[in-house]
Amino acid sequence: MKAAILRELGGKFIIEDISLAEPIGHEVLIDVKAVGLCHSDLHASRFGFEYVNSLPLLLGHEVAGVVIKVGSDVAEFRAGDPVAVSLIRSCGHCVPCRTGRPYQCKYPDDVLRRPDEPGRIIADGDSITQAFGVGGFAERVLVHENQLAKVPTEVPFPQAAILGCGVITGAGSAINTAKVRPGDTVAVVGLGGVGLNVISGARLAGAGKIIGIDIQPVKFELARRFGATDTVDSRDADAVKTILDLTGGGVDHCFEVIGLSETARLAIDITGVGGGVYIIGVFKPDAQFPIFPPIDMIGSQRKIQGVYMGSTDIKHDIPMYARLYLEGRLNLDDLVSREIRLDEINEAYADLDQGGFARTVITSF
Ligand SMILES: [Zn+2]
Ligand SMILES: [Zn+2]
Protein backbone atom coordinates (compact mmCIF):
# COMPACT_ATOMS: atom_id res chain seq x y z
CA MET A 1 0.00 0.00 0.00
CA LYS A 2 1.04 3.60 -0.57
CA ALA A 3 2.31 5.74 2.30
CA ALA A 4 3.99 9.16 2.57
CA ILE A 5 7.22 8.54 4.48
CA LEU A 6 9.54 11.14 6.01
CA ARG A 7 13.20 10.10 5.84
CA GLU A 8 14.89 13.27 7.12
CA LEU A 9 13.74 16.05 9.42
CA GLY A 10 12.86 19.09 7.36
CA GLY A 11 12.75 16.93 4.24
CA LYS A 12 9.89 16.16 1.91
CA PHE A 13 7.40 13.32 2.22
CA ILE A 14 8.18 10.51 -0.20
CA ILE A 15 5.47 8.18 -1.50
CA GLU A 16 6.62 4.61 -0.85
CA ASP A 17 5.17 1.13 -0.88
CA ILE A 18 4.83 -0.48 2.56
CA SER A 19 2.53 -3.00 4.21
CA LEU A 20 0.99 -3.57 7.62
CA ALA A 21 0.95 -6.58 9.93
CA GLU A 22 -2.26 -8.46 10.75
CA PRO A 23 -4.17 -7.07 13.78
CA ILE A 24 -3.48 -8.89 17.07
CA GLY A 25 -4.96 -8.45 20.57
CA HIS A 26 -6.66 -5.06 20.83
CA GLU A 27 -5.56 -3.83 17.38
CA VAL A 28 -7.85 -2.70 14.58
CA LEU A 29 -6.99 -2.50 10.88
CA ILE A 30 -8.65 0.43 9.13
CA ASP A 31 -9.17 1.40 5.50
CA VAL A 32 -8.28 5.13 5.50
CA LYS A 33 -10.92 7.26 3.76
CA ALA A 34 -9.68 10.66 4.89
CA VAL A 35 -6.64 12.03 6.74
CA GLY A 36 -6.21 15.69 7.69
CA LEU A 37 -3.05 17.75 7.35
CA CYS A 38 -2.65 18.88 10.94
CA HIS A 39 -0.05 21.50 11.79
CA SER A 40 1.43 19.19 14.47
CA ASP A 41 2.64 16.83 11.74
CA LEU A 42 4.40 19.70 9.99
CA HIS A 43 5.99 20.61 13.32
CA ALA A 44 7.01 16.97 13.90
CA SER A 45 8.42 16.70 10.38
CA ARG A 46 10.79 19.58 11.21
CA PHE A 47 11.57 19.14 14.90
CA GLY A 48 10.74 15.49 15.46
CA PHE A 49 9.04 15.64 18.87
CA GLU A 50 10.20 12.55 20.75
CA TYR A 51 10.69 10.78 17.43
CA VAL A 52 13.78 12.79 16.57
CA ASN A 53 15.95 9.66 16.51
CA SER A 54 13.30 7.45 14.97
CA LEU A 55 13.42 8.12 11.25
CA PRO A 56 12.07 7.06 8.83
CA LEU A 57 8.74 8.23 10.12
CA LEU A 58 5.11 7.73 9.08
CA LEU A 59 3.11 10.77 10.24
CA GLY A 60 -0.60 11.62 9.88
CA HIS A 61 -2.98 11.25 12.82
CA GLU A 62 -6.28 12.92 11.89
CA VAL A 63 -7.87 9.86 10.33
CA ALA A 64 -11.33 8.54 9.51
CA GLY A 65 -12.04 5.26 7.80
CA VAL A 66 -13.77 1.92 7.91
CA VAL A 67 -12.76 -1.06 10.03
CA ILE A 68 -11.45 -3.93 7.90
CA LYS A 69 -10.46 -6.43 10.55
CA VAL A 70 -10.06 -6.61 14.34
CA GLY A 71 -7.74 -8.46 16.72
CA SER A 72 -9.06 -11.31 18.89
CA ASP A 73 -9.51 -9.12 22.02
CA VAL A 74 -11.52 -6.36 20.32
CA ALA A 75 -15.20 -6.27 21.35
CA GLU A 76 -16.13 -2.64 20.63
CA PHE A 77 -15.57 -2.63 16.86
CA ARG A 78 -16.28 -4.93 13.95
CA ALA A 79 -15.61 -4.92 10.21
CA GLY A 80 -17.59 -2.23 8.42
CA ASP A 81 -17.75 0.25 11.34
CA PRO A 82 -16.96 3.87 10.41
CA VAL A 83 -14.44 5.24 12.91
CA ALA A 84 -12.35 8.30 13.74
CA VAL A 85 -8.78 7.84 15.00
CA SER A 86 -7.08 9.97 17.63
CA LEU A 87 -3.44 10.38 18.61
CA ILE A 88 -4.46 10.25 22.31
CA ARG A 89 -2.93 7.03 23.56
CA SER A 90 -4.46 5.72 26.79
CA CYS A 91 -3.81 2.41 28.54
CA GLY A 92 -7.32 2.18 30.00
CA HIS A 93 -6.17 0.85 33.42
CA CYS A 94 -4.13 3.59 35.18
CA VAL A 95 -5.77 5.97 37.69
CA PRO A 96 -6.21 8.91 35.25
CA CYS A 97 -7.72 6.54 32.64
CA ARG A 98 -10.11 5.00 35.17
CA THR A 99 -11.19 8.41 36.50
CA GLY A 100 -12.15 10.02 33.20
CA ARG A 101 -8.81 11.59 32.27
CA PRO A 102 -7.39 9.36 29.53
CA TYR A 103 -5.55 12.41 28.15
CA GLN A 104 -3.37 12.24 31.28
CA CYS A 105 -2.63 8.49 30.94
CA LYS A 106 0.51 7.34 32.76
CA TYR A 107 1.29 4.48 30.38
CA PRO A 108 0.44 5.71 26.86
CA ASP A 109 2.96 3.34 25.28
CA ASP A 110 0.90 0.37 26.51
CA VAL A 111 -1.21 0.73 23.35
CA LEU A 112 1.85 0.15 21.13
CA ARG A 113 3.44 -3.18 20.38
CA ARG A 114 6.27 -4.11 22.75
CA PRO A 115 9.83 -3.82 21.42
CA ASP A 116 10.15 -7.65 21.44
CA GLU A 117 7.08 -8.03 19.21
CA PRO A 118 7.25 -7.69 15.41
CA GLY A 119 6.48 -4.12 14.29
CA ARG A 120 3.13 -3.09 12.87
CA ILE A 121 4.66 -1.56 9.75
CA ILE A 122 6.40 -3.91 7.32
CA ALA A 123 8.86 -2.21 4.97
CA ASP A 124 11.69 -3.43 2.80
CA GLY A 125 14.61 -3.70 5.23
CA ASP A 126 13.60 -0.56 7.11
CA SER A 127 11.92 -0.20 10.46
CA ILE A 128 9.43 2.67 10.08
CA THR A 129 8.18 4.58 13.12
CA GLN A 130 4.40 4.83 13.45
CA ALA A 131 4.04 8.38 14.79
CA PHE A 132 1.59 8.73 17.71
CA GLY A 133 0.67 5.06 17.23
CA VAL A 134 -1.26 6.00 14.06
CA GLY A 135 0.76 6.63 10.88
CA GLY A 136 -2.18 7.96 8.90
CA PHE A 137 -0.56 9.22 5.68
CA ALA A 138 -1.26 5.81 4.17
CA GLU A 139 -4.00 3.75 2.59
CA ARG A 140 -4.47 1.76 5.81
CA VAL A 141 -3.65 2.14 9.49
CA LEU A 142 -3.26 -0.42 12.28
CA VAL A 143 -4.08 1.07 15.69
CA HIS A 144 -5.08 0.08 19.24
CA GLU A 145 -8.83 0.20 19.85
CA ASN A 146 -8.34 2.76 22.66
CA GLN A 147 -7.39 5.29 19.95
CA LEU A 148 -10.68 4.81 18.09
CA ALA A 149 -14.21 6.15 18.39
CA LYS A 150 -17.29 5.22 16.37
CA VAL A 151 -18.86 7.89 14.17
CA PRO A 152 -22.33 7.74 12.59
CA THR A 153 -22.36 6.75 8.91
CA GLU A 154 -24.08 10.08 8.06
CA VAL A 155 -20.91 12.05 8.87
CA PRO A 156 -18.76 12.44 5.72
CA PHE A 157 -15.24 11.05 6.13
CA PRO A 158 -13.32 14.37 5.82
CA GLN A 159 -15.49 15.87 8.57
CA ALA A 160 -15.10 12.70 10.67
CA ALA A 161 -11.30 12.87 10.26
CA ILE A 162 -11.18 16.40 11.65
CA LEU A 163 -13.15 15.24 14.69
CA GLY A 164 -10.12 13.15 15.67
CA CYS A 165 -7.76 16.08 16.30
CA GLY A 166 -8.68 19.64 15.30
CA VAL A 167 -12.21 19.55 16.72
CA ILE A 168 -11.52 17.75 20.00
CA THR A 169 -8.42 19.89 20.61
CA GLY A 170 -10.17 23.20 19.94
CA ALA A 171 -13.70 22.67 21.18
CA GLY A 172 -12.51 20.52 24.09
CA SER A 173 -10.22 23.31 25.31
CA ALA A 174 -13.24 25.57 25.79
CA ILE A 175 -15.73 22.95 27.00
CA ASN A 176 -13.58 20.53 29.03
CA THR A 177 -10.44 22.42 30.06
CA ALA A 178 -11.64 26.00 30.57
CA LYS A 179 -15.23 24.93 31.37
CA VAL A 180 -16.58 28.08 29.70
CA ARG A 181 -19.96 29.05 31.18
CA PRO A 182 -22.88 30.87 29.59
CA GLY A 183 -22.11 34.58 29.32
CA ASP A 184 -18.33 34.25 29.79
CA THR A 185 -16.02 36.30 27.56
CA VAL A 186 -13.51 34.43 25.41
CA ALA A 187 -10.58 35.40 23.19
CA VAL A 188 -8.92 33.10 20.66
CA VAL A 189 -5.45 34.06 19.45
CA GLY A 190 -4.90 32.36 16.09
CA LEU A 191 -7.76 31.51 13.71
CA GLY A 192 -6.44 28.39 12.00
CA GLY A 193 -8.23 25.02 12.08
CA VAL A 194 -7.88 24.55 15.86
CA GLY A 195 -8.69 28.21 16.67
CA LEU A 196 -11.96 27.99 14.75
CA ASN A 197 -12.87 24.95 16.81
CA VAL A 198 -12.14 26.80 20.05
CA ILE A 199 -14.70 29.34 18.84
CA SER A 200 -17.17 26.49 18.17
CA GLY A 201 -16.64 25.10 21.67
CA ALA A 202 -17.08 28.53 23.26
CA ARG A 203 -20.30 29.05 21.31
CA LEU A 204 -21.64 25.61 22.30
CA ALA A 205 -20.85 26.47 25.93
CA GLY A 206 -22.88 29.69 25.64
CA ALA A 207 -20.06 32.26 25.78
CA GLY A 208 -21.15 35.91 25.56
CA LYS A 209 -18.41 37.66 23.63
CA ILE A 210 -16.05 35.54 21.51
CA ILE A 211 -13.16 37.61 20.16
CA GLY A 212 -11.18 36.17 17.24
CA ILE A 213 -7.62 37.53 16.95
CA ASP A 214 -5.22 37.08 14.02
CA ILE A 215 -2.84 39.00 11.78
CA GLN A 216 -4.68 37.90 8.63
CA PRO A 217 -8.00 39.82 8.38
CA VAL A 218 -8.99 37.42 5.57
CA LYS A 219 -9.74 34.89 8.34
CA PHE A 220 -12.17 37.15 10.20
CA GLU A 221 -15.22 36.40 8.07
CA LEU A 222 -14.66 32.66 8.51
CA ALA A 223 -14.27 33.15 12.28
CA ARG A 224 -17.62 34.93 12.40
CA ARG A 225 -19.24 31.98 10.62
CA PHE A 226 -18.06 29.78 13.52
CA GLY A 227 -19.42 32.14 16.15
CA ALA A 228 -16.88 34.94 16.73
CA THR A 229 -18.77 38.05 17.84
CA ASP A 230 -15.78 40.39 17.39
CA THR A 231 -12.48 40.28 15.53
CA VAL A 232 -9.23 42.12 16.19
CA ASP A 233 -6.08 42.44 14.07
CA SER A 234 -3.26 41.98 16.60
CA ARG A 235 -0.92 44.11 14.46
CA ASP A 236 -3.00 47.18 15.32
CA ALA A 237 -1.13 49.37 17.78
CA ASP A 238 -4.18 49.60 20.06
CA ALA A 239 -5.23 45.90 19.80
CA VAL A 240 -4.82 45.25 23.54
CA LYS A 241 -6.71 48.39 24.48
CA THR A 242 -9.51 47.49 22.05
CA ILE A 243 -9.96 44.08 23.69
CA LEU A 244 -9.78 45.46 27.24
CA ASP A 245 -12.42 48.05 26.28
CA LEU A 246 -14.64 45.40 24.65
CA THR A 247 -14.61 43.25 27.78
CA GLY A 248 -14.46 45.75 30.59
CA GLY A 249 -10.87 44.93 31.52
CA GLY A 250 -10.02 41.60 29.91
CA VAL A 251 -11.57 38.24 28.95
CA ASP A 252 -12.49 35.38 31.27
CA HIS A 253 -10.71 32.82 29.06
CA CYS A 254 -7.97 33.35 26.50
CA PHE A 255 -6.74 30.57 24.22
CA GLU A 256 -3.31 30.83 22.58
CA VAL A 257 -3.36 28.67 19.45
CA ILE A 258 -0.22 29.87 17.63
CA GLY A 259 2.79 28.83 19.71
CA LEU A 260 4.83 32.03 19.80
CA SER A 261 6.21 33.94 22.80
CA GLU A 262 4.68 37.18 21.45
CA THR A 263 1.17 35.72 21.19
CA ALA A 264 1.50 34.09 24.62
CA ARG A 265 2.36 37.54 25.99
CA LEU A 266 -0.66 39.01 24.21
CA ALA A 267 -2.88 36.28 25.69
CA ILE A 268 -1.71 37.16 29.20
CA ASP A 269 -2.18 40.90 28.61
CA ILE A 270 -5.81 40.59 27.49
CA THR A 271 -6.95 38.19 30.22
CA GLY A 272 -8.88 39.85 33.03
CA VAL A 273 -8.83 39.47 36.80
CA GLY A 274 -9.39 35.84 37.77
CA GLY A 275 -9.26 34.71 34.15
CA GLY A 276 -7.45 31.76 32.58
CA VAL A 277 -4.82 31.65 29.84
CA TYR A 278 -4.79 28.34 27.95
CA ILE A 279 -1.75 27.36 25.92
CA ILE A 280 -2.72 25.14 22.97
CA GLY A 281 -0.22 26.29 20.29
CA VAL A 282 2.83 24.09 19.71
CA PHE A 283 5.98 26.08 20.49
CA LYS A 284 9.40 25.50 18.95
CA PRO A 285 11.59 23.39 21.26
CA ASP A 286 13.84 26.35 22.21
CA ALA A 287 11.02 28.89 22.74
CA GLN A 288 10.69 30.51 26.17
CA PHE A 289 7.53 31.48 27.96
CA PRO A 290 7.31 35.29 28.23
CA ILE A 291 8.60 36.54 31.55
CA PHE A 292 6.35 38.95 33.41
CA PRO A 293 6.50 40.30 36.94
CA PRO A 294 5.25 37.53 39.28
CA ILE A 295 3.69 40.21 41.49
CA ASP A 296 1.13 40.65 38.69
CA MET A 297 -0.04 37.08 39.25
CA ILE A 298 -1.40 37.94 42.68
CA GLY A 299 -3.33 41.07 41.73
CA SER A 300 -4.66 39.57 38.50
CA GLN A 301 -5.38 36.12 39.99
CA ARG A 302 -4.82 34.70 36.51
CA LYS A 303 -4.05 31.08 35.88
CA ILE A 304 -1.97 29.79 32.99
CA GLN A 305 -2.63 26.23 31.89
CA GLY A 306 -1.18 24.02 29.18
CA VAL A 307 -3.84 22.05 27.29
CA TYR A 308 -3.30 18.64 25.73
CA MET A 309 -5.86 17.53 23.14
CA GLY A 310 -8.71 19.51 24.67
CA SER A 311 -8.78 17.29 27.79
CA THR A 312 -10.73 14.83 25.68
CA ASP A 313 -12.22 11.42 26.36
CA ILE A 314 -12.61 10.35 22.73
CA LYS A 315 -15.11 7.54 23.43
CA HIS A 316 -17.51 10.13 24.86
CA ASP A 317 -16.63 13.34 23.05
CA ILE A 318 -16.20 12.25 19.40
CA PRO A 319 -19.71 10.72 19.16
CA MET A 320 -21.04 13.83 20.97
CA TYR A 321 -19.46 16.21 18.44
CA ALA A 322 -20.68 14.02 15.58
CA ARG A 323 -24.22 14.29 16.93
CA LEU A 324 -23.94 18.08 17.31
CA TYR A 325 -22.75 18.26 13.69
CA LEU A 326 -25.71 16.20 12.46
CA GLU A 327 -28.06 18.46 14.46
CA GLY A 328 -26.59 21.51 12.68
CA ARG A 329 -25.07 22.88 15.90
CA LEU A 330 -21.37 22.32 15.12
CA ASN A 331 -19.81 23.68 11.93
CA LEU A 332 -17.51 21.07 10.41
CA ASP A 333 -18.27 21.73 6.73
CA ASP A 334 -16.43 25.08 6.64
CA LEU A 335 -13.38 23.40 8.21
CA VAL A 336 -12.75 21.19 5.19
CA SER A 337 -11.26 23.72 2.81
CA ARG A 338 -9.65 21.37 0.30
CA GLU A 339 -9.47 17.68 -0.59
CA ILE A 340 -6.28 16.35 -2.18
CA ARG A 341 -4.47 13.16 -3.23
CA LEU A 342 -1.72 11.63 -1.08
CA ASP A 343 0.95 12.59 -3.62
CA GLU A 344 -0.01 16.29 -3.28
CA ILE A 345 0.99 16.32 0.39
CA ASN A 346 4.22 18.35 0.02
CA GLU A 347 2.58 21.20 -1.91
CA ALA A 348 -0.39 21.20 0.48
CA TYR A 349 1.88 21.47 3.53
CA ALA A 350 3.75 24.33 1.88
CA ASP A 351 0.38 26.12 1.51
CA LEU A 352 -0.55 25.34 5.12
CA ASP A 353 2.72 26.94 6.22
CA GLN A 354 1.47 30.18 4.65
CA GLY A 355 -1.62 29.91 6.85
CA GLY A 356 -4.01 29.96 3.91
CA PHE A 357 -6.40 27.07 4.59
CA ALA A 358 -8.64 25.90 7.45
CA ARG A 359 -7.99 22.20 6.81
CA THR A 360 -6.73 20.25 3.85
CA VAL A 361 -7.74 16.59 3.85
CA ILE A 362 -6.30 13.72 1.82
CA THR A 363 -9.21 11.73 0.43
CA SER A 364 -7.62 9.74 -2.40
CA PHE A 365 -4.50 7.63 -2.52
ZN1 LIG B 1 -3.38 17.12 15.07
ZN1 LIG C 1 -3.78 5.08 31.33
Contact between 133 and 121 (Cβ < 8 Å): no
82 C-alpha to ligand 1 centroid (Å)? 20
Mean pLDDT of the 267-278 span: 97
Output the CA torsion sign for 175, 179, 182, 185: negative
213-252 pLDDT, tens digit per residue, is 999 999 999 999 999 999 999 999 999 999 999 999 999 9
- Catalytic residue numbers read 38, 40, 43, 61, 165
Taking the CA of 167 as reference, the closest ligand is: 1
101 C-alpha to ligand 2 centroid (Å)? 8
Mean pLDDT of the 265-274 span: 96
Give rounded-to-5 percent helix, strand, coil for the chain. Answer: 35, 25, 40
9 C-alpha to ligand 2 centroid (Å)? 30
pLDDT at residue number 126: 81
Taking the CA of 168 as reference, the closest ligand is: 1
pLDDT band per the 50, 70, 90 thresholds, residue 51: low
Taking the CA of 146 as reference, the closest ligand is: 2
Residue 357 has pLDDT above 80, yes or no: no
Ranges in the chain annotated CATH 3.90.180.10 = 2-155+332-364
Mean pLDDT of the 97-103 span: 96
Residue 246, sorted as left (phi over 0), alpha (psi -120 to 50) or beta, turns out to be alpha
Taking the CA of 87 as reference, the closest ligand is: 1
40 C-alpha to ligand 1 centroid (Å)? 5
pLDDT band per the 50, 70, 90 thresholds, residue 123: confident
Contact between 161 and 361 (Cβ < 8 Å): yes
Mean pLDDT of the 297-304 span: 91
Residue 52 has pLDDT above 80, yes or no: no
Residue 50 has pLDDT above 70, yes or no: no
pLDDT at residue number 152: 98
27 C-alpha to ligand 2 centroid (Å)? 17
pLDDT at residue number 288: 86
Where does 2-155+332-364 sit in CATH, by number?
3.90.180.10
pTM (2 d.p.): 0.94
Contact between 189 and 257 (Cβ < 8 Å): yes
194 C-alpha to ligand 1 centroid (Å)? 9
Residues with CB under 5 A from ligand 1 (ion): 38, 40, 165
pLDDT at residue number 359: 85
152-199 pLDDT, tens digit per residue, is 999 999 999 999 999 999 999 999 999 999 999 999 999 988 999 999
pLDDT at residue number 191: 94
Ranges in the chain annotated CATH 3.40.50.720 = 166-310
Residue 354 has pLDDT above 90, yes or no: no
In 310-362, alpha helices (H): 314-326, 345-353
- For 166-310, CATH number out of 3.40.50.720, 3.40.50.1010, 3.40.50.2000, 2.30.30.90 equals 3.40.50.720
356 C-alpha to ligand 1 centroid (Å)? 17
